[in-house]
Structure 1
Amino acid sequence: MNRFLPWGLASLISLAFLAVFIAYPIAGVLMRSFVGDNGFSAAGFVTFLTKARYLEAFGNSIILGGAVTLTSTIVGVFLAFVVARYEVPFGSIVFLLPLSVLIIPELISAQSWIMVLGNNGFVTHLFKTMGLPFPKFYGWFGLIYVMTLTFYVHVFLAALAALRGFDHSLEEAGQSLGTAPLSTYLKVVFPTVMPAVLSSGLIVFTLAFGNFAISINLGQSVPLLSVLTYRSFVSETGGSPVMQSTLATVSILLVASVLFMQKRYLSKKEYQMFAGRTPPRVKLRGWKSALASGAAGLLIVLSLLPALVVLVGSFTLSSGPVMHWGQFTFENYYRIWNGDLDVIWNSLKFSSLATTFGVCFATLVSYLLVKKPSSTTALLDYLLLLPLTVSGTVLGIALSQGFNSGPLVLTGTSALMVCAMMLRRLPFGVRNASSNLHNISNSLEEASVSLGVPPIKTFFKVMLPLMAPGIAAAAILTWVTTVAELSTVVVLYQAGQETLPIQIFRLISSDLMGRASAFGVINIIIIIVPIVLGIKAMNVKLFAS
């Protein structure tokens, strides 16, 4: 019994929590997709396979995921190669790119580009005044363009880490044998970094395939599975859940298959470098320098531009969907102050609770996985992967359906909103919380216990202080992602539970871009403050893991 307490019990409690709030809702979605009026039925899948709009949405989602993966890979690898191999003027600010993904939520990124290139956008209006036609931004172009600028950072980070870890002596050996530099890159360098690029590329595919915020705002003429699933849920609330469950199941199966292929491929493609020598950075000159620096610099500007556009838009006079650029006002902020402060309070309250509970749970689970492995923790590790196989919309639907009846009714409550926000990013919280656990020697804990200190007290007195950097990073990342969460909570919230992303989404849908921009600025400020405090005051390394 002593060997079971306390960590065996902690593992069982953690396992029970994940089983109830992750496995049970997702299993419920899968089961309801096979249930008809008279018991077992495949009517939902028959409808899916025979209705053109469902097949079109499914095909479009795959095409979109593939296109965004391709463009993100090209852009990310190019920028990583330029930064890793050449001296560029803006090399010192490249670290802002991963932060831009956190600082600028997907919804605000879509909003900002609509304000620039949409039907009433600044550039669109400028072209109209000049009497020149401007191509329609909504549809395939807008979707691929905005998603590429949003997701290429994932490929960039992975490719940059792989290129910096590449042993330059291998490249020199190839060239010393008479191989041309381009051929050496293609035959030696890129096959070595390909596993990292493919891994991040498949992550981009799943993000683009299940994306909701950008898709519903820019994909007006392109039916997509994530949007169709959301609209199916909204229209069928109170009715049969078969079709919404079927659409969610299709999404789950596709993403799970992609993750399985990723794991299988990477298990066969593993390269290791021993005592590698980092390739030197070369200073380009002439047209090559202008081309590389200009293209890479443009990418950085476009990545960070949405924050500036939203800031300017929040102080711009607007009449419905029309933005009067150049006419500044504080009206958008006055309206928030006089009637919408509850939205800000909801975001702060829900995100604070989700971050607190999420970080505490992630800290415990990461400790169990790394320091107290067992058959129970192996199952725990598996359940933690489930949120990665579902999009935010599907997770929200699963939770709504799973807890709308029975012994635990939570649908429509703030508690389920907080739980959803916590679960959505839990795998990443566990990853960051455990980032430095592998470097902590077991002998420290064993010495404390051998001196008579109880295991729990040892955990709090010895292990927690050593885990502090990883826990701080997990807390910051959990906070900024829950503050920006839309796809999960948009299917769960009731009147009075609106958060900043939900309010921004509603305002964009009503073409009230000025007010949406003001809320967007507030959202960005709430996101950026803990990042600055964590990096400057606490020296937190957000992407160390």
Structure 2
Amino acid sequence: MKIEWWPWGLLTLFCIALLLFFVAYPLSVLFGNSVTDTDGTVSLQAFSMLLQDSKYLTAFRNTLILGVVVTCCTILIGVPFAYLVARYDFPLKSLVSILPVLTIVIPEVIVSQSWLLVLGNNGVVTNFFADMGIYLPSFYGWTGMIFSMTLVYYTFIYLGVLAALRGFDGQLEEAGLSLGTPPGLTRLRVLVPVIMPAVLVNALVVFTLVVGNFAISIMLGSQVPLLSVMIYDTFVSEMGSNPMLQSAMSVTVIGLMAFVLFFQKRVIERKVYTMVQGRAPGVERVRSWKALLFAGGVGLIVVLSLLPLAMVFIGAFTKTKGPVMHWGQWSMDNILQAIQIAPQPILNSLKFASMAMVIGVSFAVLASYLVIKKRTAMTQFLDYLVVLPLTISGTILGIALVQTFNTGWLVLAGTSAIMVLCGTVRRLPFAMRNASSMLYNIPDSIEEASVSLGVSPMKSFFKVILPVVKASIASSAILMWLTTVSELSASVVAYSGGLETMPIAIFRQVDSGRLGMASAYGAALVTVILLPIIISVKAFKINLFSGK
């Protein structure tokens, strides 16, 4: 397709230049540092150290084990959950079928902190059983990580499989039953192959999220060597010195994720089934003990996954003294201290998230318009660059940005700019995906008619396109806001004195054993996340997950 250099070609080049400088260039610096010795010579010393030192090999093995175990657990929960919701009608189904979506917007730092309030060494359930002479095993380590991550990530499996089940042609299953095949065997032969691509795609997504997880890993699994935590510890210990080892570990993780994504593409492409539009299977209404069993089973999963929202507010108003929480005794001290005495993390979060939202949404709307409506070889390259941050974890992205912009003509490290940059780059792919949701449905003829009437292309963009996609823009802005304000993994390696945000404050307070103050910041964080969602859904009727 012929490139229209004015204005769209130049704007495409501008977007590509920004992404090359703030995304691709930092990653190239990270790769370069991984093979550059202290004297500036090329060396594989860091990779050799990773292969020879048992602690790094142990961390690599633990990371793979954690990823596989959590992925299997999410499949064991998400697939049956989706099947029950898609095939059966039971009490409270409409409520429990949508509530799991909320787990996606609960910050992982809140999840970790809340489960410590419940099952930690001084947790309410731990103390309850201790008073009865029953001592629960420690929640720290493998148990806490697997339990918490499963409840955080099963929603990805649930939503993917639910969509596949609702698109399944029920006539295929009826044909198998008409041939005398038992129902169980029919589902195994017909249904399982159709939903398997959805299971595999989302399972690999979960695996990459677990491998790159930082918040839950460092707060609950500090005694278990993991790559994500070890990269952070190495970054802190190497601060101001040669970043060779931290870079080599980061490149190793990037290589692992790249291999998983390549495996996903190769395997999934071979297991794609084209489904001709047909009649969806009927929903079976269950009664008596089956209804109670189904409702109780899915309800328990939903309650456990949403329990952090309740616990963080209970902990914020619980009387505390140092690391000890006096359950059942209420106090406003934690809230007052967070708001009046130490409000800086709250103000920083609001400021950084607002700036990242404005920059990110503006860029996402322009880039998505170029990619969808002005398709050229350059816009395809732009599309690849936008999704590049999805392939790396937040901690590695933060390290790459700090290594790149801590010296030279553009120094951003230690300033508010790098905090905004971390949030913008990290969440830009999500904002762009949401911003583009309605552009596909806008006929090109609408814009062409405006241009044919003498309106310039830029004015047509602002007067014709933007008003039509305003719902998607608002949805992108809210999603960009709530994901940026809860960002921890990238910002925790980029922040310096005076730039602490609420997630960082929660992390530091939990690390020092002050769960009361952590809960106060957590309550503030949950409030600034949920309020925009409630307002957008109730007042403006915006569907955050579809952009309509």
TM-score (ref. length: structure 1): 0.98
Q: CA deviation at 1:275?
A: 2.5
Secondary structure of the corresponding residue to residue 318 of structure 1? strand
Partner of 1:310: 312
* Residue 12 (str. 1) matches residue 17 (str. 2): no
Partners of 2:514 and 2:120 in 1: how far apart? 13
Partner of 2:474: 472
Partner of 1:392: 394
2:376 to 374, 389, 399: 374
Partner of 1:28: 29
Secondary structure of the corresponding residue to residue 519 of structure 1? helix
Equivalence map 1:270-285=2 (5 Å): 270-285=272-287
1:342 to 334, 344, 354: 344
CA distances 1:491-524 after superposition (whole Å, capped 9, x unpaired): 0111111111011111000111111111111100
Partners of 2:3 and 2:386 in 1: how far apart? 27
The one-letter code of the counterpart of 1:153 is: T
Partner of 1:436: 438
RMSD (CA atoms):
1.3
CA distances 1:84-142 after superposition (whole Å, capped 9, x unpaired): 1111212121212112321x210001101011111111111111111112111111111
Partners of 1:278 and 1:510 in 2: how far apart? 54
CA distances 1:152-175 after superposition (whole Å, capped 9, x unpaired): 111111111111111111111111
The one-letter code of the counterpart of 1:173 is: A
The one-letter code of the counterpart of 2:101 is: P
Is 2:361–2:476's contact at 8 Å kept on the other side of the alignment? yes
Partner of 1:190: 192
Q: CA deviation at 1:281?
A: 1.3
Secondary structure of the corresponding residue to residue 6 of structure 1? helix
Partner of 1:321: 323
The one-letter code of the counterpart of 1:437 is: L
* Residue 84 (str. 1) matches residue 86 (str. 2): yes
Partner of 1:403: 405
Q: CA deviation at 1:339?
A: 1.4
Q: CA deviation at 1:210?
A: 0.6
Partner of 2:101: 98
Q: CA deviation at 1:356?
A: 0.6
CA distances 1:327-347 after superposition (whole Å, capped 9, x unpaired): 001111121233112221111
Equivalence map 1:488-503=2 (5 Å): 488-503=490-505
Secondary structure of the corresponding residue to residue 326 of structure 2? strand
CA distances 1:292-325 after superposition (whole Å, capped 9, x unpaired): 2221110011011111111111110112221110
Q: CA deviation at 1:357?
A: 0.4
The one-letter code of the counterpart of 1:5 is: W
Equivalence map 1:141-540=2 (5 Å): 141-540=143-542
The one-letter code of the counterpart of 2:201 is: S
Partner of 1:123: 125
Is 2:215–2:489's contact at 8 Å kept on the other side of the alignment? yes
Partners of 2:292 and 2:518 in 1: how far apart? 38
Partners of 2:490 and 2:267 in 1: how far apart? 30
The one-letter code of the counterpart of 1:122 is: V
CA distances 1:179-215 after superposition (whole Å, capped 9, x unpaired): 1111121111121111112111111111111100000
Stretch moving more, 391-400 or 440-449 = 440-449
Q: CA deviation at 1:457?
A: 0.4
Is 2:29–2:400's contact at 8 Å kept on the other side of the alignment? yes
Is 2:67–2:208's contact at 8 Å kept on the other side of the alignment? yes
Secondary structure of the corresponding residue to residue 325 of structure 1? strand
Secondary structure of the corresponding residue to residue 329 of structure 2? strand
Secondary structure of the corresponding residue to residue 347 of structure 1? helix
The one-letter code of the counterpart of 2:359 is: F
Q: CA deviation at 1:288?
A: 3.0
* Number of corresponding residues: 544
Partners of 1:406 and 1:373 in 2: how far apart? 36
2:45 to 43, 46, 52: 43
Secondary structure of the corresponding residue to residue 327 of structure 1? strand
Partners of 2:465 and 2:340 in 1: how far apart? 47
Partner of 2:63: 61
Secondary structure of the corresponding residue to residue 425 of structure 1? helix
Q: Identity percentage over the alignment? A: 51
Secondary structure of the corresponding residue to residue 138 of structure 1? coil
The one-letter code of the counterpart of 2:75 is: T
Secondary structure of the corresponding residue to residue 324 of structure 1? strand
CA distances 1:255-287 after superposition (whole Å, capped 9, x unpaired): 111112112222222223333212211112344
Partners of 2:197 and 2:546 in 1: how far apart? 19
The one-letter code of the counterpart of 1:175 is: L
Partners of 1:221 and 1:515 in 2: how far apart? 24
CA distances 1:38-92 after superposition (whole Å, capped 9, x unpaired): 5110000000000011111111111111111110111111111111111121212
Secondary structure of the corresponding residue to residue 380 of structure 2? helix
Is 2:90–2:287's contact at 8 Å kept on the other side of the alignment? no
2:139 to 137, 140, 146: 137
- Gaps in structure 1 of 5+ consecutive residues: none
Stretch moving more, 487-496 or 336-345 = 336-345
Partners of 1:129 and 1:99 in 2: how far apart? 34
Q: CA deviation at 1:2?
A: 9.1
Partners of 2:258 and 2:354 in 1: how far apart? 31
The one-letter code of the counterpart of 1:99 is: L
